[in-house]
Every structure is written in structure tokens, then in C-alpha cells.
A and B are shown apart, each in its own frame.
Chain A
Amino acid sequence: MTSGFPEIWDTRAFGRALDAAFNTIVANWGETLETVFMPVLRFIQGLEKGLQVLPWWVVVALFCFVTWGAGRRMVPVAVVAVLLMLLGLLGVWNEAMATVALMLAATILSVVIGLPIGIGMSRSDRMRRGMLPVLDIMQTMPIFVYLIPFVMLFGPGKIPALLATIVFAIPPVIRLTDLGIRQVDLEIVEASRAFGASPRQQLWTVQVPLAMPTIMAGINQTTMMALSMVVIASMIGAGGLGYQVLQGIQRLEVSKGLIAGLGIVLLAIIFDRIAQSYGRRVQANLHREGK
């Protein structure tokens, strides 16, 4: 080294040891892990197939239904319908549905894993102190770094893409669940305690419902981050719109990249609209005015 920094320990040996250790894991556990994640893979594939096989108007109707359920307002429903049809017009319907399937799976799993962690952090300062730096690292570590171990474990495909996406996208839902619960009016929590709520009852009758707008903001961010991962995840076989962008780059086809990119933007707007209209309805319920 020209910098002359003293070599106190042998980094290369350390690196080799790390690689060797990881290789052992891959050799011994690779198959087990693959079996474990088989149901998840089936789920994503099923979802993808389902979305692609169904006539487009059924899918549009489904999305409209969900949007209505989320916000009970017509405007977002109309916006979502128009944007979805635009996706079809762009000629990337099937790719978009593949991306939606992966993204939904990533978001659902992020929420399923992230919510309990966030709740745990809100209840224990120790756990919070332990988790915050981990979340910081997860968010600042370049995403490509996650891809290597996941690809080694599972080989290129949807599962490593899904896992890398989850690692990247899960921090907001964890952080905002913790924050949301901590911000709940202490007097209301105290009231529920005074009426004899068990810790579990406090959580589900007061803390989670009142933290819901914040939690939803976290889920929304998680969705957006999952979507932003699709291009990178496509490098390891996620397919979908990201793969089109990748092909556009490799073949220097501006149009292909542009159209697929536009598709991603449309998806982002669609999911943002759905999440936002749900968030707004929850918020309105908490601060209903009628005087």
C-alpha cells in the first residue's frame, strides 16, 4: 500500500475466511433454504401467473376495488384505472404484472416481518438502541452487496431478488411503526390502562390503531423502495419491467428502457395513490370534525 497505513491484521486472510465460511453455509444449507422458500416462490409465481392470465379488465377492476376499499373515494379509483390502462397501452402489461407480483410479495413480507419488530422496538428501549444502527446499515449499504450472498445461496432467480428487496425496503415500515406507536397520546394509553387493558389489549385497541397513519406512511415508503429495487433485482433474475430496462441498457435501445421506465413510474403512482387514500381515510377517522 502506498498510503503506508500499518497493516495490523491480515485483511486478505480475513476475507478468505469469511468467504470460506459462507461457502460452507451455501454447501450445507443451500438446499434446505431453497425448500424453506419454496412456498414463497410458488406464491409469487402464482400471483404473477394469475395477474397475467386474467383478462386485463378483470385486473383493472380488482385494482379499482382495492382502491375503493382503501379510500372510499372515486377520484383515486379513476386515476388508478386510467394509469393501469396506460400500462397496457405502453405494451408492457405482462412485465408490469410480474413486477407487481414481486413487489406485492416483498411488501407483504416486509410488513409481516417489520410490524412485529417495530412494535417490539416501541416497547423496549434496549431493542430500539440495538436495532437503529442495524437499520442505518441496511439503508446505507450499497444494494449490490446484498445481491452476492443471496445469489450464492439461491442461484439467480426470484427468491434472491425478493430477499434483497426486503432487506432494502423493510427499514421504513420498522422505523415508522416504532415512531407511530411512541407518538400515540400517552393520556389515551393511560386511559386504556386505567380501564384494565392488558398490554396486548393496549396494543391492539389503542396503540396500533392510533399509530396507523404513521404505519401506513411507512408501508407506503416500503412499497416505493421495493419498486425502486426492481431494476437492480432484475439483474439477478427478477424479470418484469426491470429486466426490460436492463435489456434497454445492454442493447442500447433507448425506447425500450424509456418505456419500461415509464411503466415503473406508473406503478409507483398507482401504489402511492392507493396507500395515500387509505392513509387519508384513517387520518380523517382520527380527527373527524363535525362541530
Chain B
Amino acid sequence: MGLVKIRVEGVSKVFGRDPAGALAKVRSGMDKTRLKDETDHVLGLHDIDLSIRTGEIFVIMGLSGSGKSTLIRHFNRLIEPTGGRILFDGDDILAYDAARLQTFRRRKVAMVFQRFALLPHKTVIENVAYGLTLDGVAKPEAFRRAGEQIALVGLTGFETSYPAQLSGGMQQRVGLARALATDAEVLLMDEAFSALDPLIRHDMQMQLKELQGRLGKTIVFITHDLDEALLLGDHIAILKDGTLRQVGTGSEILAAPADDYVARFVRDVNRGRILLCGAFADAGLIAAADAPVIAADATLESTFAAFAGGAAALAVRDWDGRIAGALTPRRVMEALARI
């Protein structure tokens, strides 16, 4: 995982009549509730710093009202920050004028919406080609490229259907195809799968992972479902009341929650499926020569079978082939029982 794609520096957002004045109050220590009660301004985001790397799935999590949608809408300037900087490939997008911003939205970022937001009066293929037609791509070419994306999401045969004729899952595939059609490097997905039922949702998650592996897009994905976050996210950012509480990989956050809020957030997760053996191998312990070997990036859950087979310890092998240490059932239990 390489370069930084999107860099957010000290971004704050206040909703209300006098955002700048209200932000000054926040800087001098007023909190979100007092700001709301005393000045009728809403603190949407406060001093957010983060980096999203090229080619990763970056998940933003948090409860309702924590500022997830507000944050993701800063990345294509659907919402303007009250303070701070946003860099895209090192370019300050806040400096863009209207024309430049339009081009940026047409070519560099695409968005998928929770309630699909398809154009109800246009057919599937017209919807998918929408971004291209806005950019002035001629219709035959736009339709040809749209057709490819429709095939990619498995909707061939529905090109001339209208959105309302499709199920929710199919509509969101159209939404995904529409976002892919402009060949944007970054996909912004605001609770894109939240409106789908569990089975369809799982299919879509798998399809997204597969697509991302193949196309190498940078994806910013919002969810309030921790399992989804852990399944998809290379990195996860946790927001609360407009502030960033923790950023890290899933297992980093599970292993060391930054504060009580994050800890409560991750409490109910099946830790065995997320935590990795490497993080818990005891380097001071040497497993018996005939002990089963397990990879450092295997989940703790995958050790259960070996222990059930009677092994007293497992040798943990690093990505470079060296034995990093050993895992005993006791260490695994400790790791699972933490919190």
C-alpha cells in the first residue's frame, strides 16, 4: 500500500449562521452540546486529521450523527469545511474554482449513496452513463462503457429497465456501476449497503472486495456496522461527535482500543475472527519441533482446530518464513478474553 491519496488536515465543520465564530468558540473549549444549546450551531466535525492511502478500503465508522456523512462529503466538496485543508494527490481541492471542481468530480471521485439516488426517469444504462454524459462523452461511447460496467456488476439484460423495476440489491449494483463508469480513482460509499438485506449485503461486500482487488480503486466506505467495517476495511477510523477517536487496522483497534468509547464499540465483535496470530505469538517461547505451524496473518480462530487435535503449542511463522514465536491455548484465550 503506497502513496497517500487523500489527506485531511485539521478539518472542522460547523453548521449554522456564523460557522467561523462558532468554530472559534469550539477552539476555546466549548463542546458540541453547549454549542448547540447556547448558539444554535451544530458541530459537524472537529479537527479531523487523517490520510487515506492509494488502493485501500478506508472505513469510517461511528454512531448516527457522529459526522460520517459530513466527513465523506468533504472529499468531493459537496460540503465545504469551516476550517482545515483537504489534499487529493497532494493537490489542495479547496483551491479549485467551480469549473475545476466539476472536472474533478467528473473524473476523479465517484459516489455511491445509501438510498441509491438513481435517476428514476432514466433507464439503467442511462443512469450508468450519467457521469460520462455530464462530461461530454458522446452517447455511443458512453453507452459502450456503461455496458461494460453493467456486465461487471452482473446486470446484463437490464439495460433498458427503469430503477423502480429493480430490487434494492440490483439498484445498488446500478449505483455501483454508475460510480465505476467514470473510471474515477476514488469511490466514496456512504452506507452503500445499509439498505440491503443481509444476504444481498454479504454478496455486495464480497463483490466490492473482489472488484477492489482487481481494479485497485481507493474506496472510502462508511458503515455503522462493525462486522462490515472489519470485513472490508484496510484501515478503520472511528468518529464520535465529530471527533476522530482512533484510526488503525481492524486488529489494531481490537487489540488496543484508544478509549472507552472505542472499547465499547468493539466489545461484541467475534475477536477470534479478527485478531491475528502474529500479534499474540510469544517470542520467548519455543514450540516443540513437531508442533503444527501457523501463519502470522492467520486469525486466532484458525488455531482452534489444531488445539482441538491435541497440540500443546503452535509455531507462528512470519511472512518472511521465520518462526516468530509460539502460541499456547492459554495465550489465545487471554487474547480473546481481553476487555
A194 touching B119, Cβ below 8 Å: no
A15 at the interface (CB under 8 A from B): no
Contacts of A288 in B (CB 8 A): 120, 162, 164-165
Point out the residue from A195, A196, A210 that lies within 8 Å of B120, measured CB to CB: A210
Nearest opposing residue in chain A for B182, CB measure = A195
A194 touching B76, Cβ below 8 Å: yes
Point out the residue from B117, B167, B182 that lies within 8 Å of A291, measured CB to CB: B167
B161 touching A290, Cβ below 8 Å: yes
Contacts of B161 in A (CB 8 A): 290
Chain B interface extent, by class: 20 to 34
Nearest opposing residue in chain B for A210, CB measure = B121
- What is the minimal beta-carbon distance from B303 to any residue of chain A, in angstroms? 45
Contacts of B117 in A (CB 8 A): 185, 187-188, 190-191
Nearest opposing residue in chain B for A185, CB measure = B117
Interface positions, chain A 101-142, Cβ under 8 Å from B, are none
A287 touching B120, Cβ below 8 Å: yes
Contacts of B219 in A (CB 8 A): none
Nearest opposing residue in chain A for B115, CB measure = A187
B119 touching A291, Cβ below 8 Å: no
Q: Beyond A201-B134, A285-B121, A286-B120, is A194–B78 a contact (Cβ under 8 Å)?
A: yes
B102 at the interface (CB under 8 A from A): yes
B111 at the interface (CB under 8 A from A): yes
- What is the minimal beta-carbon distance from B217 to any residue of chain A, in angstroms? 16
A248 at the interface (CB under 8 A from B): no
B104 touching A196, Cβ below 8 Å: yes
Nearest opposing residue in chain A for B111, CB measure = A194
Assembled-state Cα–Cα distance A89/B130 (Å): 52
Contacts of A194 in B (CB 8 A): 76, 78, 105, 109-111, 188
Assembled-state Cα–Cα distance A225/B121 (Å): 30
Among B102, B121, B131, chain A packs the most CB atoms within 10 A around the CB of B121
Assembled-state Cα–Cα distance A288/B105 (Å): 30
Contacts of A206 in B (CB 8 A): 119
B103 touching A196, Cβ below 8 Å: yes
B113 at the interface (CB under 8 A from A): yes
B121 touching A191, Cβ below 8 Å: no
Mask of B79-112 contacts with A, CB within 8 angstroms, 1/0: 0000000000000000000000111111101110
Assembled-state Cα–Cα distance A126/B105 (Å): 29
Contacts of B115 in A (CB 8 A): 187
Mask of B121-140 contacts with A, CB within 8 angstroms, 1/0: 10000000011001100000
Contacts of B165 in A (CB 8 A): 288-291
Among A193, A196, A205, A289, chain B packs the most CB atoms within 10 A around the CB of A196
B121 touching A195, Cβ below 8 Å: no
Assembled-state Cα–Cα distance A190/B113 (Å): 10
B134 touching A195, Cβ below 8 Å: yes
B121 touching A286, Cβ below 8 Å: yes
B134 touching A209, Cβ below 8 Å: no
- What is the minimal beta-carbon distance from A289 to any residue of chain B, in angstroms? 6
Q: What are 30 A-B contacts with C-beta separation under 8 Å? A: A187-B113, A188-B117, A188-B120, A192-B130, A193-B105, A194-B109, A194-B111, A195-B105, A195-B110, A195-B131, A195-B182, A196-B103, A196-B104, A196-B107, A197-B102, A197-B134, A205-B119, A205-B130, A205-B134, A209-B121, A210-B120, A285-B121, A286-B120, A286-B121, A288-B120, A288-B164, A288-B165, A290-B161, A291-B165, A291-B166
Question: Beyond the given A188-B118, A286-B120, could you list 4 further A-B residue pairs with CB under 8 A, ordered by the A residue number?
Answer: A193-B78, A194-B105, A196-B131, A288-B164
